[in-house]
């Protein structure tokens, strides 16, 4: 059974979550799968042109030119070996390649793990305007619902209004927050927060940081200082560091991931704004280059519009459609 039929059967009975996931991904799915299907109809049997158009579809999804070329090459090779020329089956091989390519790059575990007796510290990093603060609110809401005593730490002391933004969320969510004066050293705010969490037995601490472009050496150094300071207060912390990436990001997303991985111990990526028209192909590119998994995806502006990343569903949404 090909992967597509497997996925189809798996999601035949649509649970609620899949439904929401699909709604959010609707745009991406329509774009990608419509194009793929149009392509299938245009060609009775595949030729050079078919593969070129396939390449175009992948590149237009922000998968990246190198990865796209590689995937196409793999598909081409296999189709030659197996003597397959039916477009439908070629597409199945394509999805197969993407699936295996992602899955073989490392672990797939989305949910955070919590330890007895010591707070789990999550450091949230990313470039400007990707939705760090909103994602933090969504994550806080998610784990508060699971009964975790949660503390927010407003270590973005730079951007005008950032602390206020997080404070508004803390009030709405009914979780505690640590803030510092504007322009304060973010590392000291982070330290205060983590210290409070340790002394007052919080389960979960989320440290918000200012958006920074990965090319700013001094700001990246500041980030590594924040990380160090947190580690001084709680050994092993931050246990998790999430890089937040906007789904509309192009190949610069890979550069972002590389640069942030140099100064922090990246344990996951959260893709935000996946409810737009972009295809989030950067998910595959980042995994391919760095092996860092996508843990969650943001599908809207409401607090519960955050879903665990599910490779099956993602590829299903992207390639199969309905």
Partner 1 sequence: MAFESLTDKLSGIFKKLRGQSRLTESNMEDMLKEIRIALLEADVNYKVVKEFTNNVKEKALGQEVLRKVNPSQMLVKIVHDELVELLGSEDSEIHYQNTRPTIIMMVGLQGTGKTTTAGKLAYLLKNKMNKTVLLAAGDVYRPAAIDQLDQLAKTVGVDIVNMGTKVSPVEISIKAKEKAFNEHYDVLIIDTAGRLQIDEQLMQELNDIRDAVSPDEILLLVDAMSGQDAVNVANAFNAQLALTGAVMSKLDGDSRGGAALSIRHMTGVPIKLTGVGEKLTDLDVFHPDRMADRILGMGDVVTLVEKAQEAIDEKEAKKSVNKMMSGKFDLTDMLAQLKQVKKLGSLGGLLKLIPGMPKITPEQTEAAEREMKNVEVIINSMTEEERHNPDILKYSRKIRIANGSGKSVAELNRVLKKYEQMKATMKQLETYRKSGRMPPGGLGGLGGMGGLGM
CA atoms of 180 and 226, how far apart (whole Å):
14
CB of 237 or CB of 273, closer to partner 1: 273
Instruction: Give min distance, CB of 239 to partner 1, in A.
Output: 27
Distance from the first to the final alpha carbon of the chain: 19
CB of 130 or CB of 237, closer to partner 1: 130
CB of 273 or CB of 313, closer to partner 1: 273
CB of 167 or CB of 188, closer to partner 1: 167
Instruction: Give min distance, CB of 26 to partner 1, in A.
Output: 9
CA atoms of 25 and 31, how far apart (whole Å):
10
Residues 235 and 247 sit within 8 Å (Cβ to Cβ): no
Instruction: Give min distance, CB of 299 to partner 1, in A.
Output: 11
CA atoms of 66 and 47, how far apart (whole Å):
21
Q: Identify which of 60, 44, 8, 97 has the alpha carbon closest to the alpha carbon of residue 277.
A: 60
Omega before 238 within 30 of 0, i.e. cis: yes
Instruction: Give min distance, CB of 278 to partner 1, in A.
Output: 4
CB of 27 or CB of 89, closer to partner 1: 27
What is the H or E stretch that residue 246 is in?
Answer: strand 240-246
CA atoms of 61 and 64, how far apart (whole Å):
8
CB of 35 or CB of 105, closer to partner 1: 35
Instruction: Give min distance, CB of 193 to partner 1, in A.
Output: 19
Instruction: Give min distance, CB of 294 to partner 1, in A.
Output: 16
CB of 7 or CB of 261, closer to partner 1: 261
Q: Identify which of 51, 85, 44, 88 has the alpha carbon closest to the alpha carbon of residue 71.
A: 51
Contacts with partner 1 by CB under 8 A lie at: 27, 56, 59-62, 64-66, 127-131, 158-162, 164-165, 167-169, 213-215, 217, 246, 248-253, 255-256, 273, 275-279, 281-282, 301
**Tokens encoding 254:** 């890979």
CA atoms of 314 and 231, how far apart (whole Å):
35
Residues 191 and 233 sit within 8 Å (Cβ to Cβ): yes
CA atoms of 164 and 168, how far apart (whole Å):
6
Sign of CA dihedral 27, 301, 112, 179: positive
Residues 112 and 293 sit within 8 Å (Cβ to Cβ): no
Instruction: Give min distance, CB of 27 to partner 1, in A.
Output: 6
CB of 65 or CB of 115, closer to partner 1: 65
Instruction: Give min distance, CB of 317 to partner 1, in A.
Output: 16
């Amino acid at each position: 059974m090909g992967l597509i039929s497997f996925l189809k059967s798996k999601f035949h009975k649509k649970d609620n979550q899949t439904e929401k996931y699909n709604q959010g991904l609707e745009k991406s799915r329509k774009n990608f799968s419509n194009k793929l299907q149009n392509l299938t109809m245009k060609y009775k049997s595949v030729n050079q042109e078919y593969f070129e158009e396939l390449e175009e579809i992948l590149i237009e999804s922000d998968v990246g030119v190198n990865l796209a070329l590689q995937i196409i090459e793999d598909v081409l090779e296999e189709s030659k070996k197996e003597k397959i020329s039916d477009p439908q089956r070629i597409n199945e091989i394509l999805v197969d390649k993407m699936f295996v390519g992602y899955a073989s790059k490392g672990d797939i575990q989305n949910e955070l793990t919590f330890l007895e007796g010591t707070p789990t510290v999550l450091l949230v990093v990313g470039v400007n305007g990707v939705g760090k603060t909103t994602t933090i609110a969504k994550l806080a809401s998610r784990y508060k619902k699971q009964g975790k005593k949660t503390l927010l730490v407003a270590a973005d002391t730079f951007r005008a209004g950032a602390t206020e933004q997080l404070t508004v969320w803390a009030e709405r969510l009914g979780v505690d927050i640590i803030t510092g004066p504007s322009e304060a050293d973010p590392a000291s705010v982070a330290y205060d927060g983590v210290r409070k969490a340790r002394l007052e037995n919080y389960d979960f601490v989320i440290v918000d940081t200012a958006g920074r472009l990965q090319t700013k050496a001094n700001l990246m150094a500041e980030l590594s200082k924040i990380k160090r300071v947190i580690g001084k207060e709680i050994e092993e912390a931050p246990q998790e560091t999430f890089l937040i990436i906007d789904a509309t990001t192009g190949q610069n997303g890979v550069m972002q991931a590389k640069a942030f991985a140099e100064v922090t111990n990246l344990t996951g990526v959260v893709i935000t704004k996946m409810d737009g028209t972009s295809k989030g192909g950067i998910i595959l590119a980042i995994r391919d280059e760095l092996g860092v998994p996508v843990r969650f995806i943001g599908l809207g502006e409401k607090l519960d519009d955050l879903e665990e990343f599910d490779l099956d569903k993602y590829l299903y949404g992207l390639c199969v459609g309905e």
